[in-house]
Amino acid sequence: MKTVYAIHTGPVLVDVLKKLFPEHLPGVRLVNVVDDGLLADVRTAGHLIPSVTRRLVGYGVLAQASGADAIFNCCSSVGEAADLLAKTVDIPVVKIDDRMASEAVRLGRRIGILATVVTTLDPTERLVQRKAAEAGKKIETQRYLNDGAFDALVNGDAAKHDAMVAAEIERAMSENDVVVLAQGSMARIVPTIKNPNGVPVLSSPLLGIQALKEQLGL
């Protein structure tokens, strides 16, 4: 049995992965590691800080020592720490948003990046720009911050979060060729969005799991 350790900076995606794994990775053992202090410290500092990077790398090293076949990084705000982790361990490290960024570059030139946590915007935009450079494609990015929506979600007001995010997604769709949801916590809103023009709205959990499946050779 393959084992994947998913590293989370909060509890939002734990139940999402518990539903997706049996469907898309049947027989793969999922171990969720949750440290909600990681994102809290990043938000307080306004950017990724060394202490957060050290902790995330530490969790990854422990995951490998515990028999993990792969590590799934579930937070875009610490994605660049996951890049360092990938150089530290001898097993695949899959970032939940990596495949999404590649797909966005493939699908459009004008790419809207929507986040509900400000510290997610910079690393996500850098990731998309890096994917564009690797593909030799010139793109334009537009950033959208729905400040307050994430706090509403973690405080139990999912309806407020969903309404705020849906409105911002619709605005981003009207101004871009493709929209990237920089946090997996927004994925559940996509099916509810009115999208008469068929603008792609990409979320990370399922695309990330598809990339993980390939890394596991399944």
pLDDT in tens, the chain (218 residues): 999 999 999 998 999 999 999 999 999 999 999 999 999 999 999 999 999 999 999 999 999 999 999 999 999 999 999 999 999 999 999 999 999 999 999 999 999 999 999 999 999 999 999 999 999 999 999 999 988 898 898 888 999 999 999 999 999 999 999 999 999 989 989 988 888 788 999 999 999 999 999 999 99
Tokens 């993980």, located at residue = 212
**pTM of the full structure:** 0.92
For residue 214, what pLDDT is reported?
A: 96
Contact between 125 and 97 (Cβ < 8 Å): no
What CA–CA distance (Å, rounded) separates 216 from 218?
Answer: 6
The answer to whether residues 52 and 92 belong to one domain is yes
Distances (CA, A) of 182 to 1, 98, 119, 137, 145: 31, 11, 10, 20, 10
The answer to whether residues 77 and 159 belong to one domain is no
For residue 148, what pLDDT is reported?
A: 87
Range of the domain at 52: 3-96+206-215
The answer to whether residues 91 and 22 belong to one domain is yes
Total domains present in the chain: 2
